[in-house]
Structure 1
Amino acid sequence: MNFIWVWKAKNIKRYLIIALAAFFTAGIIYVDQAKIAVFSPSDDDAAIYRADIDEQEVSLTFNISWGEEHAIPILDVLKDHDISNATFFLSGSWAERHPDIVERIVEDGHEIGSHGFHHEHYTKWDDSEIRRDIQLAHDHLVSEIDTEPNYLRPPNGSFDERVLSVARSQNYHIIHWSVDSHDWKEPGVDTIVDNVLEPISPGDIVLFHASDSATQTAEALPTIIEELEKNDYEFLTVSELLAGAESEHSVIE
């Protein structure tokens, strides 16, 4: 009889241990889920990468952070094709050094967004450094274009939830992209054209560069523009594309 009691006691002890382990595991899962809920971004704190629309509309966007050789040829191509509503994301330090090109971008009717001031990875900086860089770029851009940009494309496309939060605290929406031309890799004109035309769909935000690394962009653009126009696509600024449309958001880590 005592043997049976001892055996049952051992089993009860074992079951208690299993129950406690299950309880703590459930607690950990609950905490993790709570953390996920807390840190999941709202629409206001997420990066916009495309617009959810049915109309044949896309936005051509260009990053500029250095050099002066290829921005003007790209602007000339856009003007030759009667496109006056691309969006240029300008580094504040670049804009400071090239006010004549900034003036040309504005005169041609294009939209300007911020590309930060220093071309460094924000995710490697603390909040105060990110905030300072965004503000520095903002001040320089406002002095050049006399309007306040509220779209930011972080340098190198590098951001996380913390960067998103800092940007929103300074009234900026982060704009990513849904189609990447990979033009900065200089893969060849035909490859740049294919990189854009093959995945394109209504509402896409297309990434190009107009820095001096973009040696093949001006040559690829005419074919891209003409092919899209054959398929009844219209070109809008990011602001126009998002106006009245549901924007799709994501966090790229």
Structure 2
Amino acid sequence: MTFFYSLHIKKTKQFLLLVSLSFFTALLLFTQNLLSIPVFLEKESPKAIYKGENGIALTFDIGWGDEKAEKILQTLIRHKVKATFFLSGSWAERHPDLVKKMEKHHFEIGLLGYNYVDYTSMEKEEVKKDLLKAQEVFKKLQIEKIKLMRAPTGHFNKQVLKIADEMNLTYVHWSVDTNDWRNPGTSLILSKVKEAKNGDILFMHASDSAKQTNAALPQIVETTRSAGKLVTVSELIANGEVETKLIP
């Protein structure tokens, strides 16, 4: 009787050991398969860069106007400031002299499409056509190797990011919006700028709608310089880690 009882216990232990091994083997295989799913089934989606790590980037959008852009450009040159201009193709076509001046003084140039249109309300081919038209303008002006873009109205979605990626362009958003186009007064523009920290991308305008930006610019430069080194967007991206926005 004792022999039978001992044999029963031994077989039970063997059975439990076999079950345990089978369970852990199955768990290991399941975990490996689970970890491999993202690699094979999902490619990382394109993202919009809105922040960097080392430096502060001043960015200016220009879509129209004949007066403010030149004054802002002169102020930046006088203060020996690096900045990035996002230019619409239609504006660049009408102001080739200012575009050349930007290039001469080593300002960075990014695309702002050709027309002032909302990319989020357009079909993919229409968006691509607008960007290609803008690229053609800059090619004629012998401004090449443009790698950055921003949507004309600032509005973007997953489709816009995908198009940028397909065209080998980096979509650039911003982390500090000065709201200068609303012309709220230089003190309010500066209060927004004072929020800027190392790594931020500031959003401003050099179109004629921004009537107070140039008046505030010397103080903007002084304030941002005290918070971090002023760099172009490309330099900000190259200087370290970047923060991005993913559109679902």
Q: TM-score scaled by structure 1?
A: 0.78
Q: Contact 2:196/2:227 (CA < 8 Å) preserved in 1?
A: no
Whether contact under 8 Å (1:106, 1:145) holds in the other structure is no
The aligned residue for residue 86 of structure 2 is 89
Could you say which residue in structure 2 is the equivalent of 1:132? Answer: 129
Matched, 1:168 2:169: no
Change in Cα spacing, 1:214 to 1:40, as seen in structure 2 (3 Å) is farther
Q: What runs of 5+ residues in structure 1 fail to find an aligned partner?
A: 1-33
CA distance in 2, matches of 1:187, 1:98: 28
Deviation per CA, 1:86-135: give whole Å up to 9, x if none: 10000001101110111111112100000000110001000110111111
Partner of 1:80: 78
| 1:237 aligned residue (219, 232, 235) | 232
User: Could you tell me which amino acid in structure 2 is paired with residue 184 of structure 1?
Assistant: W
| Per-residue Cα deviation, 1:62-88 (whole angstroms, up to 9, x for no partner) | 0000001001111111111111x2100
Q: Which amino acid aligns with 1:74?
A: I
Q: Give the corresponding residue for 1:46.
A: 47
Q: Is the 8 A contact 1:63 1:210 kept in 2?
A: yes
User: TM-score, normalised on structure 2?
Assistant: 0.80
Aligned with 1:156: secondary structure? Answer: coil
Q: Aligned equivalents of 2:199 and 2:181: distance in 1?
A: 23
| Aligned equivalents of 2:237, 2:149: Cα separation in 1 | 14
Q: Identify which of 105, 120, 141 aligns with 2:138.
A: 141
Q: How far did 1:142 drift? A: 2.3
Paired residue type of 2:48: A
> Helix, strand or coil for the counterpart of 2:109?
strand
On the 8 A contact 1:70/1:210 being kept in 2, the answer is yes
The answer to whether 1:210 aligns with 2:211 is no
User: 2:57 corresponds to which residue?
Assistant: 59
Runs of 4+ off more than 2 Å? 38-42
Q: 1:88 to 1:39 in 2, by over 3 A?
A: farther
- In the other structure, the counterpart of 1:248 is 243
Which residue of 2 is the match for residue 221 of structure 1? 217
CA shift in 2, pair 1:252/1:78, >3 Å: farther
Which amino acid letter does the alignment assign opposite residue 171 of structure 2? I
Q: Mind listing any 5+ residue stretches in structure 2 that lack a counterpart?
A: 1-36
SS at match of 1:106: helix
SS in 2 for 1:200: coil
C-alpha displacement at 1:136, in angstroms? 0.7
Alignment match, 2:99: 102
Structure ID, larger Rg: 2
* Separation in structure 2 between the aligned mates of residue 177 and residue 211 of structure 1, nearest angstrom: 18
The change in CA–CA distance for 1:40 and 1:49 in structure 2 (over 3 A counts) is: farther
- Alignment identity in percent? 41
Query: Following the alignment from structure 2 to structure 1, what is the Cα–Cα distance between the partners of residues 131 and 239?
Result: 27
CA distance, structure 2, for counterparts of residue 181 and residue 40 of structure 1:
35
Q: Provide the C-alpha distance between the structure 1 equivalents of 2:79 and 2:42, rounded to a whole number of angstroms.
A: 44
Tell me the distance in 2 between the aligned counterparts of 1:221 and 1:192. 10
RMSD over aligned Cα atoms: 1.8
Give the number of equivalent residue pairs.
209
CA contact (8 A) 2:197 2:227 kept: no
Could you tell me which amino acid in structure 1 is paired with residue 63 of structure 2?
Answer: S
Q: Give the match for residue 23 of structure 1.
A: none
